[in-house]
Amino acid sequence: MVAFDSLNAFMSMNGYGLYVWTAWGVITGLCVAQVIMARLEHRRIVQRIRRQIRREQQL
Amino acid sequence: MWQWIHKWGSPRVFYRFSLRVTPWLWCAAALLLGIGAVWGLAFAPPDYQQHDSFRIIYVHVPSAMLAESCFALLAVCGAIFLVWKIKLADMVARVAAPFGASMTFGALVSGAVWGIPTWGTWWVWDARLTSMLILLFLYMGVMALRYAFDRPDSGGRAAAVLALVGVVNLPIIKYSVDWWNTLHQKSSFSLTQAPSMPASMWVPLLLMMLGSYLLFAALVLTRTRHEILRRESRSRWVRALIAPDAGSSDTGV
């Protein structure tokens, strides 16, 4: 059973929207940021090792 | 036993294991968190006292649990690294710390935001809140110590010592709501007792908690893999993994 009468009531959380969405937003954002940073980290490390290999091959 | 430790302490073995399990962990985490979020936000019945503001519980409790569990992991890894000098433990500790710190921050922020409609204030120097703030400072100390030394190994050892010392804060956080009777409510969820909430309220919380643990595991395993690549970038197997054709070149390296 949906706990809200309308989409409007859901979005506003019956008056608690600001608090509920802020809390959810902050924590979701923190988690998403960690995952994105992990992906960037992988790319950075692989690129660095590739550069290293190329440099050594040129020697 | 020693063979077992040696095998799992080997970065290469760990890398292969991590590569195999993380896709499943990511999927399971996404599934549990997705179901838990929709259920918790839209389907769980509103609390009779706190109405819809109680829905913050579905992110507040998991983030606080992760914040504490992650610090316990730092301490266990620190002990393994200090006693047996297993580098893998240090790698796990290094990559886990930022996530634990951000979850501590998340628990504090979501708690503050929850406090406004519930307690009428966003912060009090309540024992639970204060001990969580100390946890955040401990995380920052652990992360800062790692980079305060010229040799990475010394930094890792210093961070491990602080994690082991700081672990005394965990039972203080846990029992703070029982020892000091202040604003923060007591735990409404325990392993040994039947929950006082209806199932339609606690099942999504359980899903969010399990899902966030899986997310934590997936993230730590993935980043440990990156850390292995970074530290072992000169080893032959990493080279072969990143540039499979480079090994057959006639340069002799």
Query: Per-block average pLDDT, block size 10, for chain B (253 residues)?
Result: 70 90 96 94 83 90 95 95 91 95 95 87 86 95 91 90 92 83 71 72 92 96 94 87 65 41
Q: For residue B231, is it within any domain?
A: yes
Q: For residue A47, is it within any domain?
A: yes
Q: Alpha-carbon distance B124 to B114, whole Å? A: 13
| Distance (Å) from the alpha carbon of A56 to chain B's nearest alpha carbon | 8
Q: For residue A54, is it within any domain?
A: yes
pLDDT for A9: 85
pLDDT for B250: 46
Domain count, chain B: 1
Range of the domain at A26: 18-58
B181: which residues sit within 8 A by CB, 6+ positions away?
none
Q: Alpha-carbon distance B208 to B39, whole Å? A: 10
| Cross-chain residue pair A45–B41, CB shorter than 8 Å | no
Q: Global pTM? A: 0.89
**Vertex B106, ends B33 and B78: CA angle to 5°?**
95
Q: For residue B6, is it within any domain?
A: no
| Cross-chain residue pair B43–A23, CB shorter than 8 Å | no
Facing A42 at nearest CB: one of B41, B226, B253: B226
| Distance (Å) from the alpha carbon of A42 to chain B's nearest alpha carbon | 6
The pair of three-digit structure tokens given for residue B70, joined into one six-digit string: 């992650």
Q: For residue B222, is it within any domain?
A: yes
Range of the domain at B131: 21-184+198-248
pLDDT for B102: 96
Contacts of A24 in chain B (CB under 8 A): 37, 41, 55-56, 58-59, 110
Q: For residue B218, is it within any domain?
A: yes
Facing B230 at nearest CB: one of A2, A19, A45: A45
- Residue A14 binned pLDDT confidence (cut-offs 50, 70, 90): confident
Phi/psi-derived region of residue A10, left when phi > 0, alpha when psi is between -120 and 50, beta in every other case: alpha
| Distance (Å) from the alpha carbon of B2 to chain A's nearest alpha carbon | 32
Q: How many CA atoms lie within 13 A of B147 on its CB side?
A: 6
- Give the bridge partners for B47, in sequence order: B51
Q: For residue B253, is it within any domain?
A: no
Q: How many CB atoms lie within 10 A of CB B19?
A: 13
| Cross-chain residue pair A13–B53, CB shorter than 8 Å | yes
pLDDT for B183: 74
Torsion of CA B130, B133, B139, B145, to 10 degrees: -80
B69: which residues sit within 8 A by CB, 6+ positions away?
B213, B216
Residues of B at the A interface, defined by Cβ within 8 angstroms = 37, 41-46, 51-53, 55-56, 58-60, 63, 98-99, 102-103, 105-106, 109-110, 113-114, 116-117, 212, 215, 219, 222-223, 226, 229-230, 233, 238-239, 242-243, 246, 249, 251, 253
Contacts of A16 in chain B (CB under 8 A): 51-53, 55, 117
Q: For residue B10, is it within any domain?
A: no
Domain count, chain A: 1
Q: For residue A3, is it within any domain?
A: no
